């Protein structure tokens, strides 16, 4: 096992990685920007190193500074968390060139499956169902030709995209040119890659993802599924595990995810995402080559530490479990608490947290890097905490989550807690009638 690692991320995921490492006896070095010098992972780490000023491109995206921090501090490996450089093949290659283990998939895997158009081609080769889609589109005329073939509505997507960036639903030919140009420029600004492709849009689908793990030698297991259908502008805000599917359909989707991961000889933690239509047909959407924000929901229902499993695989120890070892018990719900004002179109609410009280009691987990007196910097995403509730049944988990949210006190900034309470109280949510358009259709 590694003796010392660099954590190349910030916030709650940096703290999550730190805790998993410490339990395995691994020393941690947290890389931080000037804006994060007083964050909890920096204060709790064995060592910490400033890698630049607040802007992400000068710090958390600064490959040279991160590699230098790892070398100077004597680290053997780098954990990228999620976001920033977690799915950057060039960064993974640079780690290898500097004799550092990248705790994630091989660079060539990230490159092949991280590009959305390439990932769809790999899914077809592996025999995994996909929605009708185009290859990379050279211009809006090519997009118009494809849309005319499959019929509207269609979904524009950025080949290098993620987090909802560069995505647009196009309902008619009249909208296509305008939305194509806007999505392409957004993709160029967010990812440095303006390449776009089109998919046939599946209306009112569920967004179901399978947590997979591979050893890089062709052995793959899955840790079952999560439902991530509650989304705002294509970004997830509430997740639960397991999803609300019949057992047979769940098994077929999981088998498809494992098939794809085996086909590409996947190494480490990954998430294979699917859209499931109202008739039970499912289609591959994308694969995320990293640990997910919502991984704690899976940990609660399977009783496995997925970050520690990442360390074991990256250290060459292989998978610690077989598929027969993994079972689901109970139900878990995760909500993302953001410093945003839901009453004013989720306007960011950066500032200093003057007081905080986290919930407790049976079945409650809180992942957060903030504390009373902590200043939320305006330079990054607004995630304050992830609150999770586990219970034997979904109905009990909902009740437990409601109780936990009402116990939570965060003063000094506005948060999304009232919005989450509205979701949990919604009759459609309670009976499981949730689809990716739930917020637009049921919460407006």
Task: In whole angstroms, give the CA distance from residue 434 to residue 431.
Answer: 8
27-33 and 4-7 beta bridge pairing: parallel
Q: Is 396 helix (H, G, I), strand (E, B) or coil?
A: helix
The answer to whether residues 376 and 393 touch, using CB atoms and an 8 Å cutoff, is no
The answer to whether residues 111 and 87 touch, using CB atoms and an 8 Å cutoff, is no
The answer to whether residues 52 and 59 touch, using CB atoms and an 8 Å cutoff, is yes
31: number of Cβ within 10 Å? 30
CB-side exposure of 8: number of CA atoms within 13 Å? 34
Nearest to 67 by CA among 97, 27, 40: 97
The answer to whether residues 330 and 409 touch, using CB atoms and an 8 Å cutoff, is no
Residue with tokens 């719900």: 333
Pull the structure tokens for residue 126. Answer: 């592996």
Task: In whole angstroms, give the CA distance from residue 173 to residue 322.
Answer: 49
Task: In whole angstroms, give the CA distance from residue 187 to residue 340.
Answer: 24
- pTM score of the predicted model: 0.90
Question: Is there a cis peptide before residue 242, judged by omega within 30 degrees of 0?
Answer: yes
Beta strands in 216-281 (DSSP E): 220-232, 235-241, 267-276
Task: In whole angstroms, give the CA distance from residue 93 to residue 28.
Answer: 22
Query: In a structure prediction context, what are the per-residue pLDDT tens digits for the chain, which is 444 residues long?
Result: 999 999 999 999 999 999 999 999 999 999 999 999 999 999 999 999 999 999 999 999 999 999 999 999 999 999 999 999 999 999 999 999 999 999 999 999 999 998 888 998 999 999 999 988 888 998 999 999 999 999 999 999 998 877 678 899 999 999 999 999 999 999 988 888 899 999 888 888 999 999 999 999 999 999 999 999 999 988 899 999 999 999 999 999 999 999 999 999 999 999 999 999 988 999 999 999 999 999 999 999 999 999 999 999 999 999 999 999 999 999 999 999 999 999 999 999 989 999 999 999 999 999 999 999 999 999 999 999 999 999 999 999 999 999 999 999 999 999 999 999 999 999 999 999 999 999 989 987
Phi/psi region, residue 405 (left: phi>0; alpha: psi -120 to 50; beta: rest), is alpha
Task: In whole angstroms, give the CA distance from residue 410 to residue 424.
Answer: 19
Return the H-helix or E-strand segment holding 196.
Answer: strand 196-200
At 391 the pLDDT is: 98
Please provide residue 228's backbone torsions phi and psi, each rounded to the nearest 5 degrees.
-120, 35
The set of catalytic residues is: 290
The answer to whether residues 149 and 200 touch, using CB atoms and an 8 Å cutoff, is no
At 418 the pLDDT is: 97
Q: Which domains does the chain have, with CATH numbers?
A: 4-89 (3.40.50.20), 132-200 (3.30.1490.20), 206-442 (3.30.470.20)
At 15 the pLDDT is: 98
The answer to whether residues 422 and 334 touch, using CB atoms and an 8 Å cutoff, is no
Nearest to 189 by CA among 197, 201, 181: 181
The answer to whether residues 264 and 330 touch, using CB atoms and an 8 Å cutoff, is no
Residues sharing a CB contact under 8 Å with residue 218, sequence separation 6 or more, in sequence order: 262, 265
């Amino acid at each position: 096992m590694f003796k010392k690692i660099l954590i190349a991320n910030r916030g709650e995921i940096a703290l999550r990685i730190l805790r998993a490492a410490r339990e395995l006896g691994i020393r941690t070095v947290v890389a931080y920007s000037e804006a994060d010098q007083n964050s909890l992972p920096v204060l709790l780490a064995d060592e910490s190193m400033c890698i630049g000023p607040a802007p992400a491109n000068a710090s958390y995206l600064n490959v040279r500074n991160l590699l230098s921090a790892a070398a100077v501090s004597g680290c053997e490996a780098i954990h990228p968390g999620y976001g920033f450089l977690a799915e950057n093949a060039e960064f993974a290659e640079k780690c290898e060139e500097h004799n550092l283990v990248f705790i994630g998939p091989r660079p060539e895997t990230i490159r092949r499956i991280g590009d959305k158009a390439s990932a769809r081609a790999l899914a077809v080769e592996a025999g995994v169902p996909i929605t009708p889609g185009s290859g990379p589109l050279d211009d809006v005329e090519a997009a118009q030709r494809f849309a005319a073939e499959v019929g509207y509505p269609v979904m524009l997507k950025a080949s290098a995209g993620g987090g909802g960036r560069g995505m647009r639903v196009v309902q008619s030919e009249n909208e296509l040119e305008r939305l194509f140009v806007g999505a392409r420029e957004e993709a160029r600004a967010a990812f440095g890659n303006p390449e776009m492709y089109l998919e046939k849009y599946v209306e009112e689908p569920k967004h179901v993802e399978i947590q997979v793990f591979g050893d890089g030698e062709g052995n793959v297991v899955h840790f079952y599924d999560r439902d991530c259908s509650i989304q705002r502008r294509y970004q997830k805000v509430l997740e639960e595990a397991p999803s609300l599917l019949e057992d047979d359909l769940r098994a077929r989707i999981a088998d498809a995810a494992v098939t794809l991961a085996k086909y590409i000889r996947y190494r480490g933690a990954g998430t294979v995402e699917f859209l499931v239509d109202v008739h039970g047909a499912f289609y591959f959407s994308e694969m995320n080559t990293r640990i997910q924000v919502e991984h704690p929901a899976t940990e609660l229902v399977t009783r496995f530490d997925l970050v520690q499993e990442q360390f074991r695989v990256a250290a060459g120890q292989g998978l610690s479990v077989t598929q027969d070892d993994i079972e689901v018990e109970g139900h878990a719900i995760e909500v993302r608490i953001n410093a945003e004002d839901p009453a004013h179109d989720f306007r960011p609410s950066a500032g200093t947290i003057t007081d905080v009280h986290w919930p407790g009691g049976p079945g409650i987990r809180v992942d957060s890097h903030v504390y009373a007196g902590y200043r939320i910097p305006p330079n990054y995403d607004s995630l304050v905490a992830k609150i999770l509730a586990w219970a034997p049944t979904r109905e009990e988990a909902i009740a437990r989550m409601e109780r936990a949210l009402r116990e939570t006190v965060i003063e000094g900034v506005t948060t999304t807690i009232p919005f989450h309470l509205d979701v949990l109280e919604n009759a459609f949510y309670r009976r499981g009638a949730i689809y990716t358009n739930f917020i637009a259709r049921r919460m407006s």
